[in-house]
């Protein structure tokens, strides 16, 4: 059974409910589908030492990689307290974009809740690559 965009966004929304955003009060959830059809989710996890905070997108990706996945076919991100009139505040940050680039399928689309689908090439047109 193919997971549709609405269902993937719902997984991201549900993941945002698990966020630990004690400092920013800005919960974020992410969900992705791997090439083999598995679903992984993540939420942002903050820390009093802000540099140790990790974004929802990277939690989902690292969970997938730890489970043996190497390609992301589709991804959804949800920021329920985000300002939909400011779409730039709802998309993955630069660090997440670079991590996504490492594992993205060629035609990866990121579904941004309240914004719509965005091709990963639009989010990061020239990622750093070693190979």
Domain ranges of the chain: 5-123
Identify the helix (H) or strand (E) that includes residue 106: strand 104-112
pLDDT reported for residue 1: 47
Residues lower than pLDDT 70 in the chain: 1-2
Count other Cβ atoms within 10 Å, centred on residue 45: 18
pLDDT reported for residue 62: 98
Identify the helix (H) or strand (E) that includes residue 99: helix 94-103
Query: What phi and psi, each to the nearest 5 degrees, are found at residue 34?
Result: -85, 170
Residue 57 annotated in active site: yes
Span 5-123: which CATH code? 3.40.140.10
From the candidates 14, 57, 102, 106, give the one annotated as an active-site residue. 57
pLDDT reported for residue 131: 80
| Measured distance CA(42)–CA(92) in Å, rounded | 13
pLDDT reported for residue 2: 64
């Amino acid at each position: 059974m193919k997971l549709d965009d609405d269902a993937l966004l719902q997984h991201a929304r549900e993941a945002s409910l698990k966020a630990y955003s004690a400092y920013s009060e800005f919960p974020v959830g992410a969900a992705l589908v791997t090439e083999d059809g598995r679903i992984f989710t993540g939420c942002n996890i903050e820390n009093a030492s802000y540099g140790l905070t990790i974004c929802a997108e990277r939690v989902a990706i690292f969970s997938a990689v730890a489970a043996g996945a190497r390609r992301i076919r589709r991804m959804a991100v949800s920021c329920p307290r985000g300002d939909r009139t400011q779409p730039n505040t709802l998309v993955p940050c630069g660090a997440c974009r670079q991590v996504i680039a490492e594992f993205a399928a060629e035609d990866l689309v990121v579904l941004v809740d309240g914004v719509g689908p965005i091709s990963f090439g639009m989010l990061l047109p020239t990622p750093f690559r070693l190979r």
